[in-house]
Structure 1
């Protein structure tokens, strides 16, 4: 089992540190300007949706949710390793932003443009590009854009087409992909130096060290709960498999077993199922 890193050992590719850095609106604005290649007057970062400021939520949501002065909404997340269905997560984030706006009273005709941005410390599509941008177009005529206002961007620290991106974006991606020693080196980028200063301030903050400790405890709790849930599900399935050998399992019995959350009781039922000679005998002795 890998040992938990201290806050001082983290780089910006760590979700906690990335979120802490990007909660500064100037850092977030600078990143969006570099990625999109546009000038943005002002960015408002939604702090209430970040675990760093609300650990009582018992959530590990660490993506950055922001909007600019044109009311364009952004969801930005760091990814250090490939995950199943990452592209489906894009769809979920876009729909989540739309739903939050609709619930707040926005009419669908007034939905703003939305961007979902993943910063990946790997190449998500294996084409050695630093940036992959997606928006919907007509399959029969690629010149026809849907123009529904949704764009998804994947950045990769493993690209090779440096001549096709800006020097600032190349410097940021080099910084994002670096190890601790490399990330503390000299960079010919004012924005990266700005991030380095923010990271030093965060690491020197007692408050942030305490928040990181709380975050790690919440992660441990969630992982432990996940393991327990997995054991509960596996034990229930094992009980049903044993009973199915004995005969048809009534629907109500299957529902009772699958809805039980007490692992010790499920273990007891598992032992009982292993000793039973019929489903009815199992029911009688539950």
Structure 2
């Protein structure tokens, strides 16, 4: 006889228990967890201070998961865009997959930042310095370096083309005994007490080990669940799409390729992959 309980839909309480188990295994390299950690501006500030090697860097404003619109073409949701006291602008992206950190994606992020930094009638010279920072799970560029700073240069003179645009690739596999290496170690930690940084450890402890923080994370995961339910895809089709997503992932397809295959947003696909990874 078939166990009828198998056919019962998962209730809110059951989902919350499942969420709590997932939260235990999250690290800051997980997109969902990262954006909640960075809601504490001090965490964003600390990460930028280490990557930029500037202890005086002060974040005065930031936006998380903002949809940067391109009315003539493709838009993109940027993980974190921060502004410091000197009016430098930073786009920080956690990239678990190599294709999510391709050089042309970095170029496109630079363009999206620029398009949203000038008002009609502003002079082009008013554009601030911008930094697109990809913190990658793997050594995407293959240089075996902890960090790569990328600027345009003149082929003829070798001098930097001072357009104010910077791209940085940070290789999180490099976890040596430097400040940057210790930060990369912390981004991969599941437990707050394993971290070097008190700033990050305090926030991770709050989100994983306090009732308020765990509830906040559960609500975030529930919102993702509800967005999927209300995305215009019927429940049965949504379940099938998720199963197809995970099957294609095992076959080695990238999240962008999967998104095209199942006709869903790349953000939905990345959330499913993140959930399945823990």
When normalised by structure 2's length, the TM-score is: 0.65
The alignment status of 1:42 with 2:51, answered yes or no, reads no
Call closer, same or farther: CA 1:90–1:137 in 2, change over 3 Å: same
**Is this contact kept in 2: 1:114–1:150, CA < 8 A?**
yes
Q: Please, which runs of 5 or more residues in structure 2 have no aligned partner? A: 1-17, 69-74, 243-256, 264-278
SS at match of 2:99: coil
The alignment status of 1:190 with 2:191, answered yes or no, reads no
**Is this contact kept in 2: 1:45–1:65, CA < 8 A?**
yes
**Is this contact kept in 1: 2:185–2:195, CA < 8 A?**
no
Q: Which residue of 1 aligns with 2:24?
A: 8
In 2: Cα distance, 1:16 partner to 1:104 partner:
35
Call closer, same or farther: CA 1:60–1:87 in 2, change over 3 Å: closer
Alpha-carbon distance, 1:207 to partner? 3.4
- CA RMSD between the two structures: 3.4
**Is this contact kept in 2: 1:62–1:77, CA < 8 A?**
yes
Alpha-carbon distance, 1:103 to partner? 4.0
**Is this contact kept in 2: 1:171–1:192, CA < 8 A?**
no
Aligned residue pairs: how many?
215
Name whichever structure is richer in helix by fraction.
1
Q: Which residue of 2 aligns with 1:96?
A: 112
In 2: Cα distance, 1:159 partner to 1:33 partner:
18
Alpha-carbon distance, 1:41 to partner? 2.8
State which of 131, 146, 150 in structure 1 corresponds to 2:161: 146
Call closer, same or farther: CA 1:9–1:133 in 2, change over 3 Å: same
**Is this contact kept in 2: 1:7–1:212, CA < 8 A?**
no
State which of 92, 100, 112 in structure 2 corresponds to 1:76: 92
SS at match of 1:83: helix
The alignment status of 1:157 with 2:172, answered yes or no, reads yes
220-229 vs 69-78, greater mean Cα deviation: 220-229
218-227 vs 11-20, greater mean Cα deviation: 218-227
Alpha-carbon distance, 1:218 to partner? 3.4
82-91 vs 130-139, greater mean Cα deviation: 82-91
Alpha-carbon distance, 1:74 to partner? 0.8
SS at match of 2:103: helix
Name whichever structure is richer in strand by fraction.
2
* C-alpha distance after superposition, 1:125-159 (max 9, x if no partner): 222211111011112232x1111101101111223
In 1: Cα distance, 2:39 partner to 2:120 partner:
23
Call closer, same or farther: CA 1:199–1:120 in 2, change over 3 Å: farther
Alpha-carbon distance, 1:73 to partner? 0.7
In 1: Cα distance, 2:260 partner to 2:160 partner:
44
Q: Please, which runs of 5 or more residues in structure 1 have no aligned partner? A: 52-58, 233-286
Call closer, same or farther: CA 1:217–1:120 in 2, change over 3 Å: farther
Alpha-carbon distance, 1:214 to partner? 1.4
* C-alpha distance after superposition, 1:98-132 (max 9, x if no partner): 11122465421100000000111110122221111
Higher relative contact order (CA 8 A, sep 6+): 2
In 2: Cα distance, 1:29 partner to 1:173 partner:
15
When normalised by structure 1's length, the TM-score is: 0.64
The alignment status of 1:206 with 2:221, answered yes or no, reads no
Alpha-carbon distance, 1:7 to partner? 3.0
Q: Which residue of 2 aligns with 1:172?
A: 183
In 2: Cα distance, 1:22 partner to 1:60 partner:
19
Q: Based on CA coordinates, which of the two structures has the bigger radius of gyration?
A: 1
